[in-house]
Structure formats: C-alpha cells, structure tokens
C-alpha cells in the first residue's frame, strides 16, 4: 500500500529533524562558545526525540489524513458497493423480467409457428377465450377472440358438433379428467379443417364442476386426411371393386392372401376362399400360357411389378376380364406377386362393341366396293347375255359372272320349258344332287314367286328338286325365281360351300336378287328366240328336233365332246311292226304312238341329250358325253318304259308298243359313220327279235369306223 509509513522512515525523519534542530541550536549559541558544545550532546537525544516527535507528528498527521481518506474511501466504496448491489439487484430483476418477456415471446412465437391455439374456458362467465394463431390454410391471422355461450360450438362441423358438446359437457362436469377430441372447424376460406382439442382443469368447485379449464387446438388436418385416405383405401380393398391376392412365384403358384371382397367380386359363395388355391384354378390355361412368361420376364428384368389383362374364372363358371397390377415381394427367400385386380368387363364389352362397329364399317366399305364391282359385273353380264344365241352361251356368261359375284358358292341355272317344267341349263362348282328336270311346284322359290332361302337349321323348308341323299348335310341355299312378261323364265339356285349366318345369307340373297333381275330379261329373250327357232328345227308331230337339226348338231356335239376327251353315243330307235300297227289301228293311232314315244324320250333323257325324228317312225337319240355302257343301260330303261305304256285311242286300248334300238359310240369320229353303225346295230336288234337294244361292239366299232371312213375318203 502506498500510504503506509515504515519505522525506518520514522528513524530517517527523526535523525534529519534532530540534525536540523542541532544546526539551528549551533547557530543560536554560536561556535565560539565551545563550552556549550557539550550542551549540544544532550541536545542530540532531545533533538532526536523532537525530530522523532516531529516525524511522528507528521506521520500522525499523515495517518490521520490517510485515515480520514480511508474512511472516506471506505464510505465511498460502501456506497458504491451498495449502489452496485442495488444496481446488480435491479439488473437481476430487469434481466429476470427481460428473460421472462423473451421466454413469453418465444413461447408465443412457438405457438404461432406450431399453429397451436390456446384456449381457456371460464364456466362462471360462460366464455371461451382463444389465444394464438387461428388455424388456417395459408394466411394465418393472429387471433384473440372470446366466444360467449355456445358461440364457439356453433362454428363446428355439424357432424362433429354433437360429439364435441357431449364430451365437453362430460369434461366440465368432472366425468372425465381431461378433454380430448378431434373435430372440424372452418378456416378463413370456410373450408373444414381437422383439429385435435385437448384440455385440462385449472380450477374446479368442491363438487368437482370445472370453473376454469385450459387447453390447446392443434391442426391435424393433413394427418387426418392421410388417415381418412388410408382408411378409404383399406375399405376399398375390403369392400370396393379392387380385389387383392398374393401368390408365390414357384411351381405351385399358391395363393396365400386374398382381400375380403374376393368371394363377392368373383361371384363365389360367401364362405368361399381363394387362399390355398393355385392361380391355375382361377385362370384359363391359354391365358396362363401367355401371362406367366410375361410375369417371369418382368421379374428377370428386375422390374418392380407387371401389368396384364387376364381372364378369371368366376363362381358361375363364366370368364371375366380383369386388369392385374402385380407388385413383386421378396420374403424369406421366396418371390411373391401381390396382384391388384379390377374388373374391366365393361371396358372389354365397349372394346368388343367398338371392334364390332369398326368391323361393320369396314364391311360396309367392302360392300360398297363390292357393289361397285358387282355393278360392273352385272352390266357386263347383261350385255353378254343379250347377245347369247342359246342357253349354252347364256349359261357360260352366268357361270362366269356368278363365280365372280359369289366366289364361295356353287350354283345352277334352270330354264322353263314350253310345258312349264324346268330343266337345268347347267351348274357350276359342286352343288348338291339336283333334279335335271323338275316341276315348278317342286321349288319353293318358283312356287311363291320370290326368293327362297334355306338355312339348314330346321326352320326352313327344303325344295323337292334337291335330291340330297340320306345323311347328306345340306348347307344353306337360295332359289331365286325369274319371271318376265308375266311368265316364269327360269330360276337361279345358289348353294353355300360352308355354314353361314342369317345375316350373311341375307346379304348374298340381296346380291343374288340383283343378279337374277339382270338375268331374267336375257332368259326371256332367249326363250322367245328359241321358241321361234324351234318352229324351224322341231318336228311338228313329236316335238322332237328334226333331221335338219341333227345334221347340224351332230358334228358339233362330236367335236365338242372330242375336245374334252368325251365320247358321244348315238341310238337309232325304230317302232316295231309299225306298218302293221298303222294298218290295224289307223294312221292317227300311229301318230299318237309316235307322239307319245317322242315325249317319253324327251322326258326320260338328260337335258344335254338331243332327241330327233330321223324320218318316218325312226328316231335318233344323241347322248353327248355318254359312254356306250351307260347308254345301253339308259336306252334299255327307255325301251322298258315304252313297253310299259298303256295307250288308248278313242277309248279303245291300244296294244303294247315296243321299240328296237341300235347304239354306237364315237370319240371324234364322223357323224355319218356313227349314224350308220347305229343303224347297223338297229338292224341287228330287229334281226335278233326286236324289242331290244343292240350295241355296235367297241372293237368292231373302231375297225368298222376306220374302214368306213377310209372308203368314204
């Protein structure tokens, strides 16, 4: 300390002051008085004492001053300390207060940020005070609001309000220790938001009734929405349209999980379960063959899942389309497929419908194109038919046009004869066995005067001119009558090569009617022309072709058949003992016999065969394409039929009429030789006893033919 004085200082001060007093004493008494020098010796302690005293006095003074200063300083320090203490105390209070304020601010901030609303209920005042950030969607507004009475509850969602009121009443009446409930309140925009409200008791009466309670609201909207969505999704899988199954991707394909709704959705009994079954039990084999490789491919490519359309077997046995979204799950070294399945039956039905519409449209376009092509074909056919000289030419045109118009159909053309019956002009493809001649009433189309369609399903009548053998499966066919100028001129017959629908048959019928329309005028013209020509070519008594026509036609038929490597057989027919008959029964009766035999010949022979009156009672039958053996059989039948005739003239029975026949065959030989050989054979038949058929032998034929042709040359 600077103010402290050491005893050494006192000593220094004492010596100094003593020396000073002694000097002053010497000056006063003078150096001359050395007697008094001794006196100085005693003055020394005195001076020292004086100096000491002086020094002490100075120290005392200094001490006193220092003490005084110290006291003052001490007082000052005390004051300062007190002031500092007071200051510190004040600061502490201030700090405490400041801390409190900061904490409150932080709390308030935290409340605002966390969207917590603090509430306080005063049951005595019947009011609820809210403090904090009002729950809102985006623009939060600080709110300090008091609701009186039920003002707050009226803001709640109507569905939640009764529950909240009930629970809050329980809480206020002390029935529950705390209040906790989730409900909806409106936000600033009027949208409902979920909150959770929790409360606790602050004060209560002696009987337990709450007088003051406090609590908080916390916005749980997002969580609640997520909860609701999850719940909805879960219920979707349990009662909704999506079925969930899981099965192991090994050879068993065993299903180990299924949602509750599977039985209902798949139309199985309520207690039925798919768990434990294999996917093979549910999916048809052909679908499995495609779906399984697709699933395994997706797995091998490391995908998370797979999406397929599959058909599942329903409880009622039907197959229904489903969209399957599968997710792979790996568990305990096994791979499972969790499949979410939703019916796409409606979608598929629409798809099928759309496909049908598209197909129908394409069909219509095709029909339009076909119709245009048909129009061209019909026009061409019409032109050609009008120039056809005879039925054969007409038939060629018809066959060609029909093959183009009805490529998958076989057919036949019939024409009307003078007696009203019909004969087959020709046929193409492979129609069922048909009568070569038939009556008009044997065809339903001709009978009714309109197209007759036969579906082969037992619903339609089959025409009699079809001679389908027993067990023959008759496919759909059409008969289209053709009438012109008030008379039937013929019929077009079309036979399907395969089963077809009613719709398809109707379409062909419509087209065939147009074809028949074109055809009928040509047939009518042809018939008229033929009738005029018949008068020049037919024998007036018998109706058979005359010899002039035989001379024209025989070479044509031989050449035509030879081109197709076919023979022509020719029969010369002569009525036995006709002279005698005439002589006995008269010439008119003889005419009747000739006429009857002529008609029988026309009736009993094919349409291709040509019967001529060669001269007198001699008739000739030309059978193109007919071998000698077949001709013999046919001729013998005719001979028999003639013999079986029972004729009467003027109510008088005529005797049995018999004929003799000689037949020869040629392939490309001359007409004259053929006629001659047939005549020779006839001669033989007469010679052998009549009423018989005699054939020129094949070898002899050849030799004789060669010889005769050689001699003619």
Which residues form the catalytic set? Answer: 617
Considering beta carbons, is residue 341 or 575 the nearer one to ligand GTP? 575
Nearer CB in complex with ligand GTP: 133/661: 661
3-state SS of the chain: helix, strand, coil percent to 5?
A: 50, 25, 25
Smallest separation, CB 576 to ligand GTP (Å):
4
Number of C-beta neighbours around residue 491 at 10 A: 30
Is 568 in a helix, a strand, or coil? strand
Please check whether residue 307 is in contact with residue 323, taking contact to mean a CB–CB distance below 8 angstroms. yes
Q: Beta strand 487-496 with 652-653: parallel, antiparallel or unpaired?
A: unpaired
- Across 647-662, b (16+ Cβ under 10 Å) vs e yields beeeeeebeebbbbbb
Q: Is the CB of 447 or the CB of 686 nearer to ligand GTP?
A: 686
Sign for the CA dihedral angle at 157, 161, 162, 164 comes to: positive
432-466 burial, b for 16+ CB within 10 Å, e for fewer? bebbbbbebebbbbbbeeebbbbbbeeeeeebebb
C-beta of 557 vs 574, nearer to ligand GTP: 574
How many Å apart are CA 280 and CA 287, to the nearest integer? 10
Shortest separation between residue 604's beta carbon and ligand GTP, angstroms: 21
Token pair of 293 as six digits: 């490789």
Joined together, the tokens standing for residue 563 give 């081109």
Looking at the DSSP assignment, which residues form a beta bridge with residue 244?
340
Residues pairing with 569 in the sheet: 623, 665
To ligand GTP, the closest distance from the beta carbon of 652 in angstroms equals 16
Q: Which residues does 324 contact at the CB level (< 8 Å), separation at least 6?
A: 306, 307, 308, 309, 310, 339, 340, 341
Q: Tell whether the torsion through CA atoms of 186, 189, 195 and 198 is positive or negative.
A: negative
The CA-CA-CA angle for residues 507, 508, 512, to 5°, reads 125
- For the chain, the maximum distance between any two Cα atoms, rounded to a whole number of angstroms, is 249
Task: Identify which of residues 423 and 585 has a Cβ nearer to ligand GTP in the complex.
Answer: 585
Contact yes or no for 609/622 (Cβ under 8 A): yes
- Give whichever of 109 and 579 is closer to ligand GTP, judged by the CB atom: 579
DSSP 196: E
Which of 63, 627, 457, 475 has its CA nearest to residue 466?
Answer: 475
Which residues lie below 8 Å from residue 704, measured CB to CB, with a gap of 6+?
A: 673, 677, 680, 696
C-alpha 604/C-alpha 640 separation (Å) is 11
Give the nearer residue to ligand GTP in terms of CB position, either 185 or 659: 659
Length of the chain: 713
Q: Does the CA dihedral 671-673-679-684 come out positive or negative?
A: negative
CA gap 400, 405 in Å, rounded: 9
The secondary structure of 98-129, three-state, reads: HHHHHHHHHHHHHHHHCCEEEEEEECCCCEEE
Residue nearest to ligand GTP (CB): 590
CB of 592 to ligand GTP, least distance (A): 9
DSSP strand E in 361-434: where?
Answer: 409-416, 422-428
Q: What's the rounded Cα separation, in Å, for the pair 54 and 215?
A: 86
Q: Closest approach of Cβ 545 to ligand GTP, in Å?
A: 16
In the complex with ligand GTP, which residue's Cβ is closer, 386 or 595?
A: 595
CB of 263 or CB of 592, closer to ligand GTP: 592
| Identity of the residue, 397 or 593, whose beta carbon is nearer to ligand GTP in the bound complex | 593
606 Cβ contact list (under 8 Å, min separation 6)? 436, 623
CB of 418 to ligand GTP, least distance (A): 21
* Pick 380 or 591: Cβ nearer ligand GTP: 591
Q: Rounded distance, CA 519 to CA 491, Å?
A: 9
To ligand GTP, the closest distance from the beta carbon of 660 in angstroms equals: 7
Q: Are 123 and 211 in contact, with CB atoms under 8 Å apart?
A: yes
Q: Which residues bind to ligand GTP, rule: CB under 6 A?
A: 574-580, 582, 587, 590-591, 594, 616-617, 686
Least separation in angstroms between residue 582's CB and ligand GTP is 5
């Amino acid at each position: 300390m600077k103010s402290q004085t050491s005893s050494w200082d006192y000593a220094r001060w004492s010596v100094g002051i003593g020396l000073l007093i002694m000097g002053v004493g010497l000056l006063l008494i003078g150096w001359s008085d050395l007697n008094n020098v001794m006196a100085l010796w005693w003055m020394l302690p005195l001076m020292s004492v004086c100096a000491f005293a002086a020094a002490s006095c100075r120290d005392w003074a200094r001490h006193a001053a220092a003490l005084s200063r110290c006291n003052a300083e001490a007082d000052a320090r005390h004051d300062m300390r007190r002031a500092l203490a007071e200051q510190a105390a004040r600061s502490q209070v201030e700090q405490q207060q400041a801390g409190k304020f900061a904490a409150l601010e932080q709390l308030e901030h935290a409340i605002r940020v966390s969207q917590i609303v603090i509430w306080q209920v005063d049951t005595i005042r019947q009011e609820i005070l809210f403090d904090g950030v009002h729950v809102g969607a985006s623009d939060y507004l600080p709110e300090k609001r008091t609701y009186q009475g039920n003002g707050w509850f009226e803001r709640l969602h109507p569905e939640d309000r009764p529950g909240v009121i009930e629970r809050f009443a329980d809480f206020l009446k002390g029935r529950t220790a705390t209040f906790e409930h989730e409900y909806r309140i409106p936000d600033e925009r009027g949208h409902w938001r979920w909150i959770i409200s929790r409360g606790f008791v602050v004060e209560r009466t002696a009987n337990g009734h709450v007088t003051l309670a406090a609590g908080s609201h916390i916005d749980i909207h997002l969580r609640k929405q997520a909860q609701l969505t999850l719940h909805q999704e879960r219920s979707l899988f349990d009662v909704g349209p999506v079925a969930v199954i899981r099965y192991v991707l090994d050879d068993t394909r065993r299903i180990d999980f299924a949602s509750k709704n599977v039985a209902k959705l798949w139309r199985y009994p309520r207690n039925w379960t798919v768990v434990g079954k294999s996917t093979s039990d549910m999916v048809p084999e052909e679908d499995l063959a495609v779906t399984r490789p697709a699933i395994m491919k997706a797995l091998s490519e490391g995908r998370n899942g797979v999406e397929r359309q599959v058909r599942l077997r329903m409880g009622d046995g039907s197959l229904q389309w489903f969209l399957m979204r599968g997710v792979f799950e790996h568990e305990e070294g096994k791979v499972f497929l969790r499949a979410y399945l939703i019916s796409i039956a409606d979608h598929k039905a629409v798809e099928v419908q759309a496909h049908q519409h598209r197909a129908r449209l394409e069909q219509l376009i095709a029909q339009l194109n076909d119709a245009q092509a048909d129009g061209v074909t019909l026009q061409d056919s019409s032109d050609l038919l009008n120039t056809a000289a005879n039925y054969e030419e007409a038939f060629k045109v018809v066959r060609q046009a029909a093959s183009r118009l009805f490529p998958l159909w076989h057919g036949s053309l019939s024409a009307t004869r003078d007696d009203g019956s019909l004969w087959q002009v020709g046929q193409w493809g492979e129609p069922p066995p048909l009568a070569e001649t038939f009556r008009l009433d044997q065809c339903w189309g001709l009978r009714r005067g309109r197209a007759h369609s036969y579906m082969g399903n037992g619903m339609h009548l089959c025409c009699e001119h079809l001679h389908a053998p027993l067990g023959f499966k008759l496919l759909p066919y059409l008969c289209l009558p053709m009438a012109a100028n008030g008379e039937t001129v013929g019929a077009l017959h079309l036979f399907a090569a395969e089963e077809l629908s009613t719709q398809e048959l109707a379409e062909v019928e419509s087209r065939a009617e147009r074809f028949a329309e074109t055809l009928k005028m040509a047939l009518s013209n042809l018939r008229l022309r033929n009738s005029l020509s018949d008068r020049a070519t037919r024998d007036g008594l018998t109706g058979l072709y005359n010899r002039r026509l035989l001379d024209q036609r025989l070479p044509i038929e031989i050449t035509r058949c030879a081109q197709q490597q076919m023979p022509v057989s020719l029969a010369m027919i002569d009525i036995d003992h006709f002279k005698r008959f005439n002589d006995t029964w008269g010439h008119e009766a003889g005419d009747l016999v000739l006429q009857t035999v002529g008609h029988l010949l026309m009736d009993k022979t094919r349409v291709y065969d040509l019967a001529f009156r060669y001269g007198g009672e001699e008739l000739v039958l030309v059978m193109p394409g007919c071998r000698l053996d077949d001709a013999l059989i046919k001729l013998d039948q005719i001979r028999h039929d003639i013999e079986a005739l029972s004729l009467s003239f003027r109510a008088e029975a005529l005797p049995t009429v018999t004929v003799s026949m000689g037949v020869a065959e040629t392939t490309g030989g001359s007409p004259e030789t053929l006629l001659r050989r047939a005549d020779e054979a006839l001669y033989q038949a007469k010679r052998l006893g009549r009423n018989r058929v005699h054939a020129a032998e094949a070898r002899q034929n050849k030799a004789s033919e060669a010889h005769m042709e050689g001699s003619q040359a």
